[in-house]
Amino acid sequence: MEQPAWNAHLYDTKHHYVSEYGDSLLELLAPQPGERILDLGCGTGHLAYKIAQRGARVVGLDNSPDMIRLAQENYPALEFVQGEGAAFHFDEPFDAIFSNAALHWMPQADEVVRCMARALKPGGRLVAEFGSRGNVAAIIGGMQKALQAYGYYFLEQQTPWYFPTIGEYAALLERYGFRVVYATDFDRPTPLEGEDGLRNWIVMFGGAFFRLIAADQTEQIIADIETRLRPTLYRDGRWLADYRRLRLAAVRG
């Protein structure tokens, strides 16, 4: 399945928790003044800005032209580049690569890790967090059942996301010369904003499943997904996405 055409404004207004959760990942990165750091999958630039505030020279890279445009508007003094995670190259190497909630959008993981290894200085570090195996399993299950109830196929392999286990990703990093120095896999139920939180999430991130379905039927199917998932994902007056995270730090040999 193809990647979504991002609605950068909706992302920035309704899904700002994505960069807020990145704050603790920044602590793991511990950017130092003068370091050259790549923010891979920088989105609208908020975490790149926080890295720059620590005195590092940051470059934000994102595949979405809309995200890059909004990042440049948000932080005109910073450098943002549009490019693919699986095919990027910079002439000047980086001291560190940081990536929050982005690697799960890059299923060509082998190429991504190859690019990251090539872009880092020897001894350079990678600090990343993204969805791990089982991430959003309840949401995927709800979408699958509702789409099937309306006569549409939904094969799990069609999802555009890559959610590896620690073992899979660590092995991949080692293949490209990284030494994994920290890795953890944890559940992080994530509050979605407002009564329409699940609906907004589906529109923002799962829109591709509905691309060939008429708008009025899409409405019905999303309402059906809400009904199916309310008993498990709606608690104490708010929706919670069943996020599961892989957080890791690795050093390039």
Q: Which residues bind ligand BEZ (CB under 6 A)?
A: 101, 104, 131, 135-136, 161, 205, 243
CA distance 119 to 83: 14
State in angstroms the smallest separation of the CB of 139 from ligand BEZ.
8
Is the Cβ of residue 131 or residue 164 nearer to ligand BEZ in the bound state? 131
Report the nearest approach of ligand BEZ to the CB of residue 145 (Å): 18
Only one residue has tokens 């704050």, namely 23
For residue 91, give every residue at least 6 positions away whose Cβ sits within 8 Å of its Cβ, in sequence order, or none: none
Q: Where are the beta strands (DSSP E) in 70-206?
A: 79-82, 94-100, 120-131, 178-187, 190-192
Instruction: Lay out the sheet containing 57-62: strands in order across.
Output: 79-82, 57-62, 36-40, 94-100, 120-131, 244-252, 178-187
> Which region holds residue 198: left if phi is over 0, alpha if psi is between -120 and 50, else beta?
alpha
Helix or strand holding residue 69 (H, E): helix 65-74
Our CA angle for 59, 63, 65, nearest 5°, is 95
- The nearer residue to ligand BEZ, 119 or 229, going by C-beta atoms, is 229
Nearer to ligand BEZ, 56 or 101 (CB): 101
For residue 45, give Cα distances in angstroms to 68, 79, 94, 216, 238: 8, 10, 18, 34, 27
Residue pair 244/185 in contact (Cβ under 8 Å)? The answer is yes
Nearest residue (CB) to ligand BEZ, 210 versus 243:
243
Rounded to a whole number of angstroms, the minimum distance from the CB of residue 28 to ligand BEZ is 17
Two tokens, residue 74: 């948000």
Least separation in angstroms between CB 98 and ligand BEZ? 16
Q: Least Å distance between CB 251 and ligand BEZ? A: 25
Nearer to ligand BEZ, 16 or 54 (CB): 16
Q: Specify the residue, 14 or 252, whose C-beta has the smaller distance to ligand BEZ.
A: 14
Minimal distance, residue 24 CB to ligand BEZ, in Å = 15
Q: Which is nearer to ligand BEZ, 40 or 117 (CB)?
A: 40
Please state, in angstroms and rounded to a whole number, the distance separating the CA atoms of residues 107 and 54.
31
Phi and psi at residue 165, to the nearest 5°:
-85, 165
CB of 131 to ligand BEZ, least distance (A): 4
